[in-house]
Amino acid sequence: MQSVANKPAPDVRPHSGIDLRFGSNAMRLSGRQWAVVGLAFLAFCVFTPGLWERAEKLDPPPDYRIPYDLSNDYWLFSRCARLAEGRGEMPVLGDSVVWGQYVKRDATLSHYLGERAGAPRFANLGLDGGHPAALAGLLRYYGGDIAGGRVVLHCNLLWTASKKHDLSSEKEFRFNHPALVPQFVPCIPCYTETGSKRLSIAIERQMTFFNWANHLRVAYFGQQDLPTWTLEHPTADPVAAMGAGLPTADDPLRHEPISWTARGVEKQDFAWVDLETSLQWRFFREAVETLRARGNKVFVLVGPFNEHMLNDESLKVYAERKRAVAAWLEANQVPHLVPPPLPTELFADASHPLAEGYRLLAEQLWANADFARFAGK
Amino acid sequence: MLFHTWTFAIFFAVVYPVYRLTKGTRLELPWLLAASYVFYGWWNPLYLILIAYGTIMDYWIVVRMEKSRRKKWWIALSVVSNLGLLGFFKYAGFVATNLNWLLAHLGIGYALPQPDILLPVGISFFTFQSMSYIIDCYRGHVKREHSFLRYAVYVSLFTQLVAGPIERASNLLRQLREEHRITREDVSDGLSLFVVGLFKKVALADYLALYVDKVYGAPGNFEAPALALATFAFAWQIYFDFSGYTDMARGIARMMGLRLMLNFNNPYLADSLGDFWQRWHISLSTWFKDYVYIPLGGNRGGTLLTYRNMVLTMVISGLWHGAAWTFLIWGVLHAAGRVLTRELERSRFYRERVPRPVKQLGVFAFVTFAWIFFRAQSVGDAWLIVSRIATPGRAIVTFVWTLAWTFLRSLSVGDAWRIATSSWTDSAFPLMALALVLAVWGYQFLYESKARTMLEWAPVRVSLAVVLVVYVATFPAGAAQKFIYFQF
């Protein structure tokens, strides 16, 4: 019985000289050879992003902002933050209001602040769709290079205008920048990505190499992975595509620069989320705390917000929220400005100003004593 | 939990060191069992009830069978239990659908309720593995396993639980009994297998899937070139997917000091259909050979009976893959292929006169053709694909007609050419994918030729390994995709 019990497993037809107990290919390496492979791979991971950065031309023109199509390229954000730091420019951080959704790059808040200062002292590091949860993640994982400097941070209360904006809705929906938000704790109810995917996001965003690999996807392969890109460009040469250089900073206008009234938008009644329970407000505070923990001096700009678009009820709540935010900033000794509402015709929608609105906002900021002190005017 | 995810990396990073510490101690088996159940329960904790039931039932049956004089009753009970489980979860929906169709055509106003059952991952694999143990015990080929824990580990070992290789007690259970150290060679060999498997899955299978899914998802939208290319791509996708999984499974087991059987041996280099089935999903082919084909009589009863047995085995094998007519047709096609080519393959002319590459291409063409039925979502889709591919003239006529018509509409020759060729754009298959597939095919040809020594040269192997690892890390195809064979 013992002998039959030890009968070897069914084998396959032998092929001369090939050890089929191992496998059907020659990729059999010894421990030492694997050590060599491991070292080579490690070297590749450690040095390639740096070497790539040197080889890839990024000479931002004045008022540079990360091109719209590269909004998910956090490695590029990190690089731009480093450049701004190197040039002694003050980063202006926030969502598409800072980025300038309805204006060209030479009509944004940072441009007009620079114009006021008489020199390009402000860097537009706005992130399209950068809600506070994403912003907090962006600063935590990719904003290390601006540690210690002065930062203007934009607070857009639109992100608390409904449970959906606030990400506290139980109903699943796709929101911007899921790779920046906390993957496990605190729990974002509308975020229903699989545990495995969350884990890979949580791990990969800590590693420069994977961020760089993502940069290749976003910047050169139309925000797709290489295989998907080749499906759309079956005969194209991926190496040539990677050598094509970064997309230009001169984005065409995303939307017609016309006011909300000309668009025919009606007054809104937002279902504001209580700040006590708001996730986005919690993440905004976290962003401020992350910056301050890194030694940054932070100035918070609350708004602009198109208050003309709100009905009476909603306006009342908004005013309360504004006061509460200002009170928190005051209590935490964060210099800030809650500017008066811009004229109605200077808004394109609920929160995005048109070019003249940005100019006026920059003027208001510049006239503010706290900001003057902060910016070292 | 998929092998090519961070979740598995963390799981293994916890399991492996503890396994090495507990190896050879009383804690080894409990730890392996716990790890395997966590791994399996990760999909759905309810599945654990199923695997625990199967394990307890089969273990108990073998205990009773050993003491009983009516062994046949016990083996019958086990077969009913295992196939009943498989039948309920895998075939209940298929049977109900077809019975309802029949009842409706007979004008009987009754319909069976359509069961809404989620097929538990890996059920076809672990039930077959468990059955092989019982049948081998019944035949006296293996000893009864006295340790329930060891038997439970044999059934549920996470490395090969969900998609094989379908191990035999004579191999895996024996290794679980033996005490041996994990050598450095085990670890490096395991790593070698794992990395190759990872590359096959992440860089190749998931890449080809993009094209295949697009075309097979709506075959009516595509013409002959795209359908033919997608079929070619699927042939390689399924090979890379399944053999990639197997390589990773074998690699992980090898790192744990366990040697799982070879499951794929460059099947697209086969020079006959018989040879193909000795190289493709070897653990399943040998399972069917040992537990279906030979018990049916094998080749002992003359030519006709041999063919009958071959056909039955292949058809059952087709149905094992899935409860659909497409799988059945796939099995029938392979059965027909085996029957029709068996004599030819034995002939002196075929063996000596036909050049091997011609045989290999012929086998590849047939196997690829049969994959159409395996992959298509319905028999109708499969037929559409076959009919479109089989009328190559159609594509040419379309091209010439468009060219002529455009030219007649007095556009320039350049415009006519552009418009005519645009009707072929649906066939655009990524050159990079084609290059990767041909590179692997070429590598396999080289490996089975006299030039193999060139590939075994250390600098070549090391460089290749670096390229594979760098590619997988830099250019994976999107999110981690499930393995095709998980659905079986």
pLDDT over 50 at B264, yes or no: yes
How many Å lie between the alpha carbon of B99 and the closest alpha carbon of chain A? 37
**Domain edge (last residue) among B153, B180, B207:** B180
Lowest-pLDDT range of A149-153, A311-315, B174-178, B421-425: B421-425
In this prediction, residue B462 carries a pLDDT of 93
Mean pLDDT, range A256-283, rounded to an integer:
91
**For residue B329, what are the contacts with CB-CB under 8 A and spacing of at least 6?**
B318, B373, B379, B382
Structural domain range at position A121: 56-375
Distance between CA atoms of residues A268 and B480, nearest Å: 42
Q: Please judge whether A12 and B195 are an interchain contact, meaning their C-beta atoms are less than 8 angstroms apart.
A: no
Poorest-confidence range of A272-286, B8-22, B323-337? B323-337
Average pLDDT over residues A140-159: 94
Residues B27 and B119 in one domain: yes
Tell me if B455 and A200 make a contact (CB, 8 A cut-off). Answer: no
* B83 is a domain residue: yes
- Taking 80 as the threshold, does the pLDDT of residue B183 lie above it? yes
Confidence band, pLDDT 50/70/90 cuts, at residue B348? confident
Confidence category of residue B425, pLDDT binned at 50, 70, 90: low
DSSP string, A166-177: HT--SS----S-
Q: Is B10 among the domain residues?
A: yes
- Give the distance from residue A170's alpha carbon to the nearest chain B alpha carbon, in angstroms: 23
Q: Output DSSP code: residue B88.
A: I
pLDDT at A8 over 60: no
- For residue A189, being part of any structural domain is answered with yes
Amino acid at A10: P
In B, residues 198-217, which contact A (CB 8 Å cutoff)?
A: 206-207, 210-211, 214
Residues of A in contact with B473 (CB under 8 A): 41, 45, 209-210, 213
Same domain, B24 and B98: yes
pTM: 0.86
Domain for residue A23, yes or no? no
Indicate if B381 and B463 belong to the same structural domain: yes
Catalytic residue of the set B4, B146, B180, B321: B321
- pLDDT surpasses 80 at A11: no
pLDDT at B417 over 80: no
State chain B's mean pLDDT as an integer: 87
CA distances from B118 to B88, B115, B321, B481 (A): 11, 9, 16, 19
Report, as an integer, the average pLDDT of B290-302. 89
Same domain, yes or no: B146 and B280 = no
How far off is chain A from B117, nearest CA to CA, in Å? 22
Count how many domains chain A has.
Answer: 1
B145 and B38 in one domain?
yes
Q: Which residues pair with A285 in a beta bridge?
A: none
Whether B252 is covered by a domain: the verdict is yes
pLDDT tens digits, one per residue of B389-415 = 887 666 666 666 666 766 666 566 666
**Percent of the residues in chain A that have a pLDDT greater than 90, as a whole number:** 72
pLDDT at position B379: 92
If you average pLDDT over residues B369-381, what whole number do you get?
93
Give the CATH number for residue A275. Answer: 3.40.50.1110
Q: Model confidence at A311, in pLDDT bands (50, 70, 90)?
A: very high
Q: Shortest Cα distance from B93 to chain A (angstroms)?
A: 28
* Largest Cα–Cα separation, chain B: 90
Mark which of B137, B159, B180 sits at the end of a domain: B180
Residues B80 and B198 in one domain: no
Residue A11 lies in a domain: no
In a domain, A84, yes or no: yes
In this predicted structure, the answer to whether residue A17 has a pLDDT above a threshold of 50 is no
So what's the pLDDT on residue B213? 92
Q: Report yes or no on B405 lying in a domain.
A: no
Q: Pick from B299, B295, B337, B334: which is nearest to B315 by CA? A: B334
A219-257 confidence digits (pLDDT tens): 999 889 999 999 888 888 889 888 888 888 777 787 888
Taking only the tens place, the pLDDT of each residue in A164-202 is: 999 999 888 889 999 999 999 999 999 988 888 899 999
pLDDT above 70 (res A19): no
- Determine the pLDDT at residue B300: 87
Q: Which of residues 21-60 of B touch A (CB under 8 A)?
A: none
Q: What is the arithmetic mean of pLDDT over B36-58?
A: 92
Domain that holds residue B72: 6-180
The pLDDT of residue A372 is above 60: yes
Beta bridge mates, A310: A268
Average per-residue pLDDT in chain A? 89
Is the CB of residue B180 less than 8 Å away from at least one CB of chain A?
Answer: no
Mean pLDDT of A310-331: 94
* Domain match, B206 and B173 both: no
pLDDT of B351 strictly over 90: no
Strand A336-337 and strand A90-94: the pairing is unpaired
Of all residues in chain A, what percent carry a pLDDT higher than 70?
Answer: 93
Cβ pair B5:A196 closer than 8 A: yes
The closest CB to that of A44, out of B184, B430, B470, belongs to B470
Nearest-by-Cβ selection for A36 from B184, B266, B462:
B462
d(CA B255, CA B185): 9
What domain count does chain B have?
Answer: 2
Residues B165 and B52 in one domain: yes
Q: What span, in angstroms and rounded, lies between the C-alpha atoms of A308 and A165? A: 20
Q: Is residue A47 part of a domain?
A: no
Residue-level pLDDT at A9: 41
Q: What is the pLDDT of residue A264?
A: 87
Above 70 in pLDDT, residue A28? Answer: yes
Cβ contact (<8 Å) for A27 and B447? no
Cβ of B430 within 8 Å of Cβ of A227? The answer is yes
pLDDT of residue B427: 63
The secondary structure element, H or E, covering residue A153 is strand A150-155
- Whether residue A5 is contained in a domain is answered as no
Q: In what order do the strands lie in the sheet with A90-94?
A: A122-126, A90-94, A150-155, A297-302, A336-337
Interface touch A1/B479, C-beta < 8 Å: no
Both B157 and B255 in one domain: the answer is: no
Per-residue pLDDT band at A6 (split at 50, 70, 90): very low
How many angstroms separate the CA atoms of B106 and A61, rounded?
Answer: 78
Share of chain B above pLDDT 90, in %: 53
Residue A271 has pLDDT above 60, yes or no: yes
Q: What is the ipTM of this complex?
A: 0.83
Average pLDDT value for residue range A296-324 = 94
Distances (CA, A) of B90 to A204, B84, B119, B241: 38, 10, 6, 22
What secondary structure letter does DSSP report for A353?
A: B
B153-173: average pLDDT? 90
- Nearest chain B residue (CA) to A232: B430
Question: Which of A4, A13, A15, A27 is best to mutate for the B interface (most B CBs within 10 A)?
Answer: A27
Task: For residue B281, indicate whether it is catalytic.
Answer: no
Confidence band for B44, pLDDT divided at 50, 70 and 90: confident
pLDDT digit string (tens) for B265-280? 889 989 899 899 999 9
**Looking at the structure, do residues B119 and B221 belong to the same domain, yes or no?**
no
- Residue in A9, A25, A199 closest to B261 by CB: A9
Q: Do A203 and B6 touch (CB under 8 A)?
A: yes
Interface contact flag, B275 A44, Cβ < 8 Å: no
| Cα separation, A131 vs A191, whole angstroms | 14
Mean pLDDT of A331-357: 94
Q: Which of A60-64, A198-202, B234-238, B409-413 has the lowest mean pLDDT?
A: B409-413
Write phi, then psi, for B449 (nearest 5 degrees).
-110, -175
For A99-103, A290-294, A373-377, which range has the lowest pLDDT when averaged over its residues? A373-377
Q: Is B290 on the interface with A (CB under 8 A)?
A: yes
**Is residue A351 a contact partner of residue A158, using CB atoms and an 8 Å limit?**
yes
Q: B188, B277, B286, B449: which to substitute to probe chain A, counting the most A Cβ within 10 Å?
A: B188
Say what percent of chain B tops pLDDT 70.
91
In a domain, B397, yes or no: no
B236 and B380 co-located in one domain: yes
So what's the pLDDT on residue B347? 84
- pLDDT mean over A97-103: 94
User: Which residues on chain A are in Cβ contact (under 8 Å) with B269?
Assistant: none
pLDDT at B479 over 70: no
Could you tell me which chain A residue has the CA closest to the CA of B445? A25
Is residue A128 assigned to a domain? yes
Is residue B171 located within the same domain as residue B237?
A: no
Give SS3 for B4. Answer: coil
B1/A29 Cβ within 8 A = no
Least CB–CB distance from A195: residue in B7, B140, B478? B7
* Residue A342, both tokens: 């811009």
* Distance from the A146 Cα atom to the nearest Cα atom in chain B, whole angstroms: 27
Higher per-residue confidence, B488 vs B202: B202
Looking at per-residue confidence, does B427 or B336 come out higher?
B336
* pLDDT for residue B236 is more than 90: yes
Phi and psi for B428 in degrees, rounded to 5?
-60, 110
Is A45 inside any structural domain? no
B348 part of a folded domain: yes
* Domain-ending residue, one of B158, B180, B202: B180
Would you say residue B139 lies in a domain? yes
**Which structure tokens are listed for B126?**
């672990």
